Amino acid sequence: MSKTAVYPGSFDPITNGHIDLVYRALKIFDKVTIAVLVNTKKEPLFSLKERMEIIQDVFKGEDRIKVDYFEGLLIDYLKKHNYNIVIRGLRAVSDFELEFQMALTNRKLYPDFETFFMVPAINYTFLNSSVIKEIYRFGGRAPDLVPPAVEKYLKNKFDR
């Protein structure tokens, strides 16, 4: 029986830290579904369509990775698609408290739910999408922190 893990997040934009986690998850699970969150509380830099296009471009040709989206509760998405495994990255101790609380709440609402916490590669422990957006917003570049597809989208968004 094939095991699929879901990697939820806003991915605005996806970074090499996210990508590292996906490929390491594929050493444990047969497939990974990257579920892009539609968060009505945030104004993302990239539209849902753009974020999904970027991710599909990054993982082009990788048939073990599916890109999807969800709105609302993660557990509703999981139940709808018959998934029960979620992977989450923990960059620092500060991430743990919120992630632990969410994992326990999700398990309370969906008893078959399991969260796998993964730590990033050491060179990505500081990295998040906000850092990337800040670098590019002010004219910087970070090609070692994002793949070429993401860099192209960032340049198009910020180059004036």
Among 24, 64, 81, 91, the one annotated catalytic: 91
Name the stretches of the chain with pLDDT < 50: none
Identify the pLDDT of residue 1. 67
SS (H, E, C) 44-101: CCCCHHHHHHHHHHHCCCCCCEEEEEEECCHHHHHHHHCCCEEEEECCCHHHHHHHHH
Residue 141 annotated to the active site: no
Exposure string over 44-74, b if 16+ CB within 10 A, otherwise e: bbbebebbbebbebbbeeeebbbbebbeeeb
Identify the pLDDT of residue 24. 97
Residue 160 annotated to the active site: no
The answer to whether the beta carbons of residues 71 and 38 sit under 8 Å apart is yes
- Superfamily for 4-126? HUPs (3.40.50.620)
Tell me the pairing of strands 85-89 and 31-38.
unpaired
The answer to whether the beta carbons of residues 20 and 124 sit under 8 Å apart is yes
Identify the pLDDT of residue 47. 95
Identify the pLDDT of residue 160. 54
Tell me how many degrees the CA angle 81-56-28 measures, rounded to the nearest 5: 60
Q: In Å, how far are 30, 116, 151 from 130, measured between CA atoms?
A: 30, 23, 14
Among 42, 49, 137, 155, the one annotated catalytic: 42
Residue 18 annotated to the active site: yes
Among 51, 88, 129, 133, the one annotated catalytic: 129
Q: Where are the domains of the chain?
A: 4-126
Q: What CA–CA distance (Å, rounded) separates 158 from 160?
A: 6
Secondary element (H or E) of residue 16? helix 16-25
Residue 60 annotated to the active site: no
Instruction: Give per-residue pLDDT as tens, 71-112.
Output: 999 999 999 999 999 999 998 777 888 999 999 999 999 999
**Structure tokens, 95:** 């991430």
Q: What CA–CA distance (Å, rounded) separates 105 from 48?
A: 26
The secondary structure of residue 110, as a DSSP letter, is: S
